[in-house]
Amino acid sequence: MKVLIATDSFPPGCGGSGWSTYELARGLRARGHQLTIVQPRPGRPDGQREYDGLVVREIGVFAPPIPFARNYLKNERLTARLADVLRSVIAESGAQVVHGQHVMTIPAAVNAAAAAGIPSVATVRDYWPVCYWSDLIHDPGADALCPACSTSGMLRCIRPRAGAAWPLAVPLVPYMRANLARKQQALSRASRVIAVSSTIARDLSERVAGLLPGRTVTIPNPVDIESIRAAARTHRPAARNPFALYMGKLAPNKGTRKLLIAVDRADLRWPLVVIGDGPDRPLVERWARESPREIRLTGWLPREEALGWLGAASLLVFPSQGPESLSRVLLEASALGIPIAAMDTGGTRDIVIPGRTGLLSSSAEALADDVARLVGDPALSARLGAAAREHVEANFSADRVVERIEGVYLEVTSGHA
């Protein structure tokens, strides 16, 4: 089958969405499908690059570093231009299905496929169809998530993001609501919507107007288990064991403050390695200087090196506050059999089954108790880690996931025959 993949990101320089798209592309190629990959690149000129033999056509997008202006150019302006490009690519490649991978590319992919008379598939990896900011956080200091993107809700979420200038942003609320509505309308026109977790699927069903019942299917992100384990073996660091690990962005929605509270309350006696960076890094650096514990901040590391640290860790602390859709870090840790103490948020339960493949908590204090419990109970840690390995192998391996997505392609194309 000829498949056009429109993706917001792709290796080598990308986050979890890009790596998941790469695993999909690699799996489809191995199954004999012909792929064309298109990626918009804000702030870059048009171009082309190759990664692992996969050619990626880059579409340049002007996007100045001005919050709302950048969002407008990456959405409304980009959607129209990218849809035109994708229509041309469909004609050139003879694509039989278009698969949009994230927020920038899905509206254009759906529009282009509809204009060309072929089916479209949209993979939703986070909360962009139901939240303008994609994280459901309207108060960084509160545990409760935003119940709906209403006018009052948007007014509340603008304040912490705009700071003292928030009154100047109030007139932009109508644009924010219209922007979200346009995204939902595009998503509702996709031939099939893939939600990467059960929580995402539920939220789409409850919050996206026009999305027909039965059009959404839950299929997780694909995980190349063997390559993860190989990278962990070959890039194992010369570190003192045991140690605990945090890996991810240092930001409020990732629960940075909960991490500090949990480590202090648990009185963690192991070293803590923090891999990542972000707006909360000064907070973490100050805490590390004042802490009696051994804390190492590495910043972002190359993926293979980060996997080496993950594979060597004795415990992963996952304090995320925002509603994680389906954390790649948790999938990788599970594939490596690393014991996990995590906050119960979003799609995390699809990976961490409480008491079976890890420990889940609903507060920083409970997270601290779970950390202390795993540190003090090696047998429990070993049992949870082994079960996590089996769970990932059975439900998230790239071969299984790509086969299910291939089934979606066959279903939607047969309906268009």
- Mean pLDDT by 10-residue block, N- to C-terminus, for the chain (417 residues)? 96 86 96 97 88 94 64 71 94 97 94 97 93 78 73 81 79 85 94 96 90 92 94 90 94 92 96 96 96 94 94 97 88 98 94 97 96 97 98 95 97 81
pLDDT at residue number 69: 59
pLDDT for 68: 57
Give residue 73's pLDDT: 63
> What is residue 270's predicted lDDT score, i.e. its pLDDT?
96
Taking alpha carbons only, the member of 301, 299, 307, 318 closest to residue 370 is 318
pLDDT on residue 74: 65
Q: Where are the domains of the chain?
A: 2-222+397-416, 225-395
Q: Whole-model pTM above 0.85?
A: yes
pLDDT of residue 93: 96
Are 2-222+397-416 and 225-395 equal in CATH topology? yes
282-304: buried (b, 16+ CB within 10 Å) or exposed (e) per residue?
eebeebbeeeeeebebeeebebe
Q: What is the pLDDT of residue 407?
A: 97
2-222+397-416 CATH, one of 3.40.50.720, 3.40.50.2000, 1.10.150.530, 3.90.870.40: 3.40.50.2000
Per-residue model confidence (pLDDT) at position 209: 83
Residue 56, φ and ψ in degrees, nearest 5:
-115, 120
Under 8 Å CB-to-CB from 405, ≥6 apart: which residues? Answer: 24, 28, 121, 194, 219
C-alpha–C-alpha distance, residues 100 and 129, integer Å: 14
* CATH code of the region 225-395: 3.40.50.2000
pLDDT confidence of residue 263: 97
